[in-house]
Amino acid sequence: MTDPSSKVSIVRQSELLSVCRATLYYKPKPVDAGEAQIRRLIDQIYTRRPFLGSRGVKKELRRMGVWCNRKRVQRLMRAMDLESIAPKPNTSAPRKDHKVYPYLLRGLSIDGPNQVWATDITYVPMERGHLYLVAVMDWWSRKVLSWRLSNSLDSRVCVDALEEALALFGPPQVFNTDQGAQFTSEALLGVLKAKGVKISMDGRGRALDNVFVERLWRTVKYEHLYPNPRENGHQVEAGLRAYFHYYNAERPHTSLGDLTPDEFYGVAQIKRAA
């Protein structure tokens, strides 16, 4: 980071950091309360109906009595990193700047913990402003292995969450992500390659390829984030820490035979060791 009080000039500091000098003078404007409210509504609409594009979201907002044009909806959805899951033209075309890996989970029999992990990132609304939440989940048990909050869509926070999960639980056989820039970065892929983990990526516009993490976001938002709006990041982090403890250790899942993710993960580990 730059230091304005340093004897080294800002010009030289920007050269050493390989960043554009103009960005060092930029001061982000806080999101006003009206726009923050529209973002919260867009997030709720998208969480309920991720197949809606900007036109559909605009119509839903108008049904709620909020009038804003499509261009504004498009701008806000881009800022929130939200994209309709509906098929798009040439969705199978790989990105030129990152290698895209095949989706390995179709037809795969998942029969134990640490066989498949998945990750994703989602928008977290606050009273003023927003954050982004990334989580790493074990597909077999639905256990949230690690999570991180960030005020930007930076790959470093995804790497931090992955490294914590690896340190706590060891490497999985397969790690599944979407094709977002945060997950196709060499920083994250390099960690997986070093551990010998197979890399799997969702098809473009196929949110259901990562269905269990998508369900997690819906659960977290409707059970915790929407009923408990927070004013700042410290409150969001404290609330999520308590909620994820409840989700892993106390909340029974019907699909897990009414066991919690911690219980299901632990039982499976014991059976494997026997």
Q: What is the CATH number of the domain that holds 161?
A: 3.30.420.10
Q: Which of 33-47, 126-140, 163-177 is least confident? A: 33-47
User: Mind listing the pLDDT tens digit for each residue in 117-134?
Assistant: 999 999 998 887 889 999
- Is pLDDT of 145 > 90? yes
**Are 161 and 31 found together in one domain?**
no
68 in any annotated domain: yes
For residues 51 and 75, what is the distance between their CA atoms, to the nearest angstrom? 18
247 Rama class: left (phi>0) / alpha (psi -120 to 50) / beta: alpha
Q: Bridge-partner residues for 132, per DSSP?
A: 123, 150
105 in any annotated domain: no
- Whole-model pTM: value is 0.74
pLDDT at 273: 46
**Are 127 and 58 found together in one domain?**
no
Strands of 142-187 (E only): list them: 144-150, 174-177
Domain that holds residue 30: 10-79
86 in any annotated domain: no
- Is pLDDT of 30 > 90? no
